[in-house]
Amino acid sequence: MWKHAIITGGSSGIGKEIAKLLAGEGSNISIIARNSRKLEAARVEITANVVNPKQKIITCSINVANRLEVENGIRQVIKEVGVPDLLITAAGISYPGYFRKLPIEIFEETMAVNYFGSLYCVRKVLPIMEQEKKGQIVMISSGAGLIGIYGYTPYCPSKFAIRGLAESLRGELKLYGISVSVVYPADTNTPQLEEENKTKPLETKNITASSGLWDARDLAVKILQGVRKKSFVIAPGIEMTLLDKFHSLLAPIIQWYMDLIVIKTLKKGYNATGNSEVRSQK
């Protein structure tokens, strides 16, 4: 059991499901997200799973893309709950679309939330974990952090960055008794996925449909299994396991397969909005 888990993105999706499972194991939990209303609703759900009336389930409404807010927020939850021995950075956004049509602000915001939002949290808790000479840091990347995917030009680089940070930190923090894990989930049935589907190109939908859809709770169970084992890589499901182990070798085949799906989609007569209109291919 972890004494105090800090979870960003804890108001919905994977983060919330992990929090509910940890509450059922007796952990104190701080969930971090932007929307205070969603945070309070999540707190009620999570609290319903506690096994000890003395457990603390608290919320912190901040924007993880803002370094000062992160530093102040984490300082406050530590003051209220105590030293964290588990940090899970699950906060993230995704706004798919065609590269040439997406405003530059989308790229900036995606990197700010997904990458810097994790970096700021790690930087803040690390000195405390170093003093304790223990702790676990878990960063949620994505299958899109292993291979670039059509339509995900803002998202993939941010998740590649998470992977690079985790790989770079692993050996360094091991010397201080701190373990690092990086998670590569496939598509998961969450509110974020619902938002993605509003702007996702049809070609991208056809590509990602081939990998199936995970339930958020099932994924949370798999993630915590890997965290307990202190596994560096947590790649739930056979598809993500193979992609993690062989992505460099498989990349040409996967890229050929994705290109084939894109061509087939275009031949069916769809343009970027999904209306019938074949675009010329030169």
Among all residues, which ones are annotated catalytic?
A: 141, 155, 159
Eight-class DSSP state of 103: -
Helix boundaries (H) for 35-66: 36-47
Q: Are 223 and 236 spatial neighbours (Cβ–Cβ below 8 Å)? A: yes
Neighbours of 103 (CB within 10 A): 11
How many angstroms separate the CA atoms of 10 and 113, rounded? 14
Beta bridge partners of 86: 5, 136
Report the distance separating Cα 280 and Cα 56, nearest Å. 59
Q: d(Cα 281, Cα 267) in Å, to the nearest integer?
A: 10
What end-to-end distance do the CA atoms of the chain give, in Å?
58
Residue with tokens 């010329």: 280
| 92 within 8 A of 13, measured Cβ to Cβ | no
Residues in the chain: 282
**Cβ(258)–Cβ(250) under 8 Å?**
no
